[in-house]
């Protein structure tokens, strides 16, 4: 009994610890702040929601961040899924090297990758901007998608695909009707991770952005003179959409999981 209460209290504290910053962020989006700083509570207002897009530079930066995140997600999901299928299913020359490289990419400090990428772009004479940010984001997202998908593919019963072929489905139809639906939870999870990584990436982006601004870059720049409450509002909206996606993914995961055990028998 006592133990249960202790555990409950501990759990509550951890949750509070995790949620407090988010709570503060949401709360200060409603703060009726007067000066340049949004640090002390001065009363409730909805005006920042109404004037969300009043700061031109911030809005442009947010649009850049969102579009880059969408493109980076799409590209890394396509490239990462095919890569994950390949390393999860086939044995080929250089597979061990590829596995290692994916983990090395995740393990290498981002600041090193960002700096090296910059020197690569400079030596190739590529002008820095929107496209180089996108290239950089796709690069660091691919391993996350590939590794999530690989884990799912390894657990997939090969005979499911053979059954589809046996029933007259061509390899392409087999992929569309059987393989893809079964690895979909992993693809979605990888995509969600990619979106989250891309939209708030600061380190790599700061090296490769050139004159282009993104949401994190703009906020960092503004922090020296005072962050406007619109930033909190945007953060809140991104958070809400992100949580929404995560819930949907978790739900679709649960729906297919029961079946997966049957397939693995």
Interaction site with another protein (CB under 8 A) = 157, 159-160, 162-171, 173, 177-178, 181-182, 256, 258-263, 265
Length of the chain: 265
Phi/psi of residue 31, nearest 5 degrees = -80, 130
Half-sphere exposure of 160 (CA within 13 A, CB side): 21
Residues 6 or more apart from 24 whose CB is under 8 A from it?
A: none
Q: How far apart are CA 156 and CA 32, in angstroms?
A: 54
Least Å from the CB of residue 74 to another protein: 23
Residue with tokens 């596995």: 99
CB closer to another protein, 126 vs 160: 160
CB closer to another protein, 57 vs 259: 259
- What is the SS3 assignment for 202? coil
CB closer to another protein, 8 vs 259: 259
CA dihedral sign, ordered 51, 53, 54, 57: positive
Least Å from the CB of residue 258 to another protein: 4
CB closer to another protein, 206 vs 252: 252
CB closer to another protein, 141 vs 188: 188
Least Å from the CB of residue 265 to another protein: 6
Least Å from the CB of residue 50 to another protein: 45
Least Å from the CB of residue 98 to another protein: 23
CA dihedral sign, ordered 253, 254, 258, 264: positive
Q: How far apart are CA 174 and CA 33, in angstroms?
A: 58
């Amino acid at each position: 009994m006592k133990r249960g209460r202790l555990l409950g209290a501990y759990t509550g504290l951890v949750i509070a610890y995790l949620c407090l910053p988010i709570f503060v962020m949401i709360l200060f989006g409603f703060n009726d702040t007067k000066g340049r700083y949004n640090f002390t509570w001065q009363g409730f207002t909805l005006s920042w929601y109404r004037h969300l897009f009043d700061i031109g530079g911030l809005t442009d930066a947010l649009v850049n961040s969102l579009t880059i995140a969408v493109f980076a997600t799409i590209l890394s999901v396509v490239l990462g899924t095919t890569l994950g299928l390949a390393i999860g299913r086939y044995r080929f020359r250089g597979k061990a090297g590829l596995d290692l490289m994916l983990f090395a990419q995740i393990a290498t400090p981002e600041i090193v990758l960002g700096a090296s990428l910059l020197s690569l772009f400079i030596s190739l004479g590529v002008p820095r901007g929107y496209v180089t940010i996108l290239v950089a984001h796709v690069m660091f997202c691919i391993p996350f998608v590939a590794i999530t998908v690989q884990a799912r593919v390894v657990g997939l019963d090969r005979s499911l695909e053979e059954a589809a072929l046996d029933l007259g489905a061509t390899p392409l139809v087999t992929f569309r009707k059987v393989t893809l639906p079964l690895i979909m939870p992993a693809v979605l999870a990888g995509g969600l991770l990619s979106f989250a990584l891309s939209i708030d990436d600061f380190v790599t982006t700061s090296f490769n952005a050139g004159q282009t601004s993104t949401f994190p870059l703009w906020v960092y720049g503004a922090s020296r003179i005072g962050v406007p409450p619109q930033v909190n509002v945007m953060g809140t909206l991104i958070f809400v959409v992100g949580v929404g996606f995560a819930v949907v993914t978790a739900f679709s995961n649960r729906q297919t999981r029961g079946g997966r055990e049957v397939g693995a028998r």
